[in-house]
Structure 1
Amino acid sequence: MLALIAGRGALPVELNRALSAGGRAPLVATLEGVGSDLPTAATWRSFRIEHLGSVLQDLRAAGVTEICFAGAIARPALDPAQIDAATAPLVERILKALSSGDDAALRAVMGLFEEAGMAVRAAHEICPELVAPAGFAAGPQPLPEAVEPMIGQGAAILQALSPLDVGQSVVIGAAGCLGIETAQGTDALLGFVATSEPRFRRGPAGVLVKGPKLGQDLRVDMPAIGPDTLRHAARGGLGAIVVQAGRTLLLDREALLAEAEAQGVTVVARELGL
């Protein structure tokens, strides 16, 4: 049996739909305070990070042998008064994970589930059709020639930042780098760009370049874009989104295609060296 640890966004919804349609409805667990776009009736249980040890025991008792993490999950604060007996032996590792970079934190959490006898399954293993193929394009075509150097600069920045485990996205405009994704996520980056002074966004419309960090474990947190990404990019005055082909998820693809046309933002999947 497979369990889905669901966060916010469209990815858990798409995975739950695909698994249920295939006769493999998962057990769905959510982290308290995070929220989920899945209906409450679809959720097996909601838990606190202070009860993770008990959740691992309950998953094993329910016959879960595979686990998939999907959706955005903000790092919770650990309340020492709430820690239960089953979680107490894990506290040191949980605290270390919560203070690490995204990829390191996720590797640590996956390790806890693996040690409990559960294999970690990637979202793209369950729904390979979500992965952006090389050559995928949506919205206005072709990309303006002036954007090509921006794409190269964005890819080079992401490659250089990979060892620092910072983020998966960067925005490049005619004036140079306009912002780098940090722990707040891609939408926050695009919101920051949208509030930048117009002089920084002069010339050809900028581009969001997105892809995984070099060496990133793609079983969790594979880069993803969806219709909301298109809307935020348009508000930021961007003209294009370029993602790493084969290593980025396209969520709610039909709506994404429609939004690309409506917002006048080109979306392209290509090799970025990420």
Structure 2
Amino acid sequence: MSAPAERPRKLGIAAGSGPLPLQLAEAARASGRDVFIVGVKGAAGSSIEAWPHGWVRVGAMGRFLKLFREAGCEDIVIIGPMTRPTLRDIVPDFRGLLLLPRFIKRMQRGDDALLRGVVEFLEDNGLRVIGAETILTSLLAAEGLFTRIAPDAAHQADIDLAIRAAHDIGAQDIGQGAVARQGHVIALEDIQGTDVMLTRVAAKTPHAASTRQGVLVKLPKPAQDRRVDRPTIGARTVERAAAAGLAGIAVEAGGAIIADAEEMTRIANALGLFVLGFPPSRVESLVR
């Protein structure tokens, strides 16, 4: 008699905003995994309620852990954009109150330090945090050109400039993105995120829709835990880059997540932007 097949480990998803949490849930279910989603209030959308789910406010670390444990989750993925909370946003439960001094210190050091604290908390309590790409390998950006339009020599020079800038702010745990235009870095991502940065660029760019100069580059931070908070682009990023008058977007292949690459590519082609995945060796050659 053959041994029974090993039961797939149940997946818990800590969900922020955007389409990625549900894309991941669907991929996990298709692979035979049971799924339970914990939505972060103020970030995750109501669409998670079509799945087994619970809700947690920022700071309620005891409930966060309890929801996953009671659902029988063994592996956890943290995915979807979340704005870094201010102290005013945090409403801790008892467990969160005990952890608050530690997390305040991490908040002062940056987003990556804060997320590492969440990962440590989950793993110290018997859960295993994994990267989203272990469930849905197609999430990671491939190397090469996604679009019909390709960057020219001037765009490539701006990409190099933005790579250096994004690497520098990433090393300081500030952000993951930079915009360069015509040989100048004109915007750096901060804790408010890529969308806010691109809105600032659009506000400073006259006749943005017809300008089409400059590039957005997104990179993983040099020391970050790549299981969480990889740089992410998608259709909305392309639309905001177009509104800011940019010519295209470039990300590190294998280092960034693309939310629905097919839809993103369709919109980029329609709007006349390029999207490029460059090899990690390009970053290494520029910042060493």
Q: Give me the TM-score of the superposition, normalised by structure 2.
A: 0.86
2:185 to 177, 181, 184: 177
32-41 or 237-246, larger mean C-alpha shift: 32-41
Matches within 5 A, 1:77-156: 77=86, 83-140=92-149, 142-156=150-164
Alignment match, 1:237: 245
- Relative to structure 1, is the Cα distance of residues 263 and 53 closer, same or farther in structure 2, using a 3 angstrom cutoff? same
The offset of 1:41, in angstroms, is 2.8
The aligned amino acid for 1:152 is D
211-220 or 84-93, larger mean C-alpha shift: 84-93
- Relative to structure 1, is the Cα distance of residues 179 and 77 closer, same or farther in structure 2, using a 3 angstrom cutoff? closer
Could you give the per-residue CA deviations for residues 73-93 of structure 1, whole angstroms, max 9, x where no partner exists? Answer: 123455799543333322222
Note the aligned Cα RMSD (angstroms).
2.5
Give SS of 1:138's match. coil
> Residues 157 and 183 of structure 2 are in contact (CA less than 8 Å); yes or no, is this contact kept in structure 1?
no
Alignment match, 1:57: 66
The aligned amino acid for 2:153 is E
Alignment match, 2:35: 26
The offset of 1:151, in angstroms, is 1.0
Alignment match, 1:251: 259
Could you give the per-residue CA deviations for residues 134-189 of structure 1, whole angstroms, max 9, x where no partner exists? Answer: 1242131x311111211111111122223211111111111511101111111111
The offset of 1:204, in angstroms, is 6.7
- Relative to structure 1, is the Cα distance of residues 161 and 55 closer, same or farther in structure 2, using a 3 angstrom cutoff? closer
Asked whether 1:211 is paired with 2:246, we answer no
Alignment match, 1:10: 19
Distance 1:87 1:190 in 2: 34
Number of matched pairs? 273
Give SS of 1:99's match. helix
> Residues 169 and 176 of structure 2 are in contact (CA less than 8 Å); yes or no, is this contact kept in structure 1?
no
Could you give the per-residue CA deviations for residues 215-255 of structure 1, whole angstroms, max 9, x where no partner exists? Answer: 22111011111011111111111111111111111111111
The aligned amino acid for 1:253 is A
Structure 2 unaligned runs (5+)? 1-9
Alignment match, 1:165: 173
> Residues 12 and 77 of structure 2 are in contact (CA less than 8 Å); yes or no, is this contact kept in structure 1?
yes
Give SS of 2:94's match. coil
Structure 1 unaligned runs (5+)? none
- Relative to structure 1, is the Cα distance of residues 241 and 80 closer, same or farther in structure 2, using a 3 angstrom cutoff? closer
Sequence identity of aligned pairs in percent? Answer: 32
Distance 2:208 2:273 in 1: 19
Distance 1:200 1:230 in 2: 14
The offset of 1:117, in angstroms, is 0.6
Give SS of 2:161's match. helix
> Residues 14 and 39 of structure 2 are in contact (CA less than 8 Å); yes or no, is this contact kept in structure 1?
yes
The aligned amino acid for 2:261 is R
Distance 1:159 1:256 in 2: 24
> Residues 22 and 48 of structure 2 are in contact (CA less than 8 Å); yes or no, is this contact kept in structure 1?
no
Distance 2:89 2:247 in 1: 47
Q: Give me the TM-score of the superposition, normalised by structure 1.
A: 0.91
1:191 to 199, 202, 205: 199
Give SS of 1:75's match. coil
Give SS of 1:213's match. coil
Distance 1:55 1:114 in 2: 13
Give SS of 1:88's match. helix
> Residues 12 and 76 of structure 2 are in contact (CA less than 8 Å); yes or no, is this contact kept in structure 1?
yes
Distance 1:202 1:36 in 2: 34
84-93 or 197-206, larger mean C-alpha shift: 197-206
The offset of 1:214, in angstroms, is 1.1
> Residues 60 and 116 of structure 1 are in contact (CA less than 8 Å); yes or no, is this contact kept in structure 2?
no
Give SS of 2:38's match. strand
